[in-house]
Amino acid sequence: MINRCRLAAVIVAMVLAGWSQAAEKKPKLQEIKKKANYKILAGTLKDQKNPLAGKLAIDIQPIGVWKMNDKAPVIVDIKAPDNFTPKEVKLRRKNLVKPKPTSYRFEVPYQAPAKGKYDLKLKFNIVICNKALCQMKRFELTYSLAAG
């Protein structure tokens, strides 16, 4: 009986440890823009081995009856400081991570030269639709990424 209890405790501990590691791999996103029919969220996923590296996550989420248009181009241009190097600076549909009509997510690996804040200029060109019409949205945002 004692061995079964110990085995159960070990299994529970392993499951909880795996769950906490999985939770760390999901970036915490903050809302950086919200309009009546969409919102933009951004956040980072830090590399556990290298604190100056990670992934920038950008979510585009239509609100209510609005959906992403799966035929229109999706473009996010990233302008970074000279010393900050994202892997991609021109994001397209091919860079999306599991696109859904209700959410488009980009995850862009980056490498920072030193600990600090880096202001990234994000230029969006997206199309969202409801049953009656589609709207093209073009806008720019600044996102401050904290590295280190």
Q: What is the pLDDT of residues 61-112, one digit of tens each?
A: 999 999 999 999 999 999 999 889 899 999 999 999 988 989 999 999 999 9
Q: Is 7 part of a structural domain of the chain? A: no
Which domain CATH number covers 51? 2.60.40.1230
Number of structural domains in the chain = 1
Q: Is 3 part of a structural domain of the chain? A: no
The pLDDT score that the predictor gives to residue 24 is 45
Six token digits for residue 78: 């990233």
CA dist., res. 26 & res. 36, Å (int): 27
Q: Is 66 part of a structural domain of the chain? A: yes
CA dist., res. 144 & res. 123, Å (int): 14
Q: Is 105 part of a structural domain of the chain? A: yes
Q: Name the residue range of residue 49's domain.
A: 27-147
Per-residue pLDDT reduced to its tens digit, 32-61: 999 999 999 999 998 889 989 999 999 999
Q: Is 106 part of a structural domain of the chain? A: yes
Q: Is 13 part of a structural domain of the chain? A: no
Alpha helix (H) residue ranges in the chain: 2-24
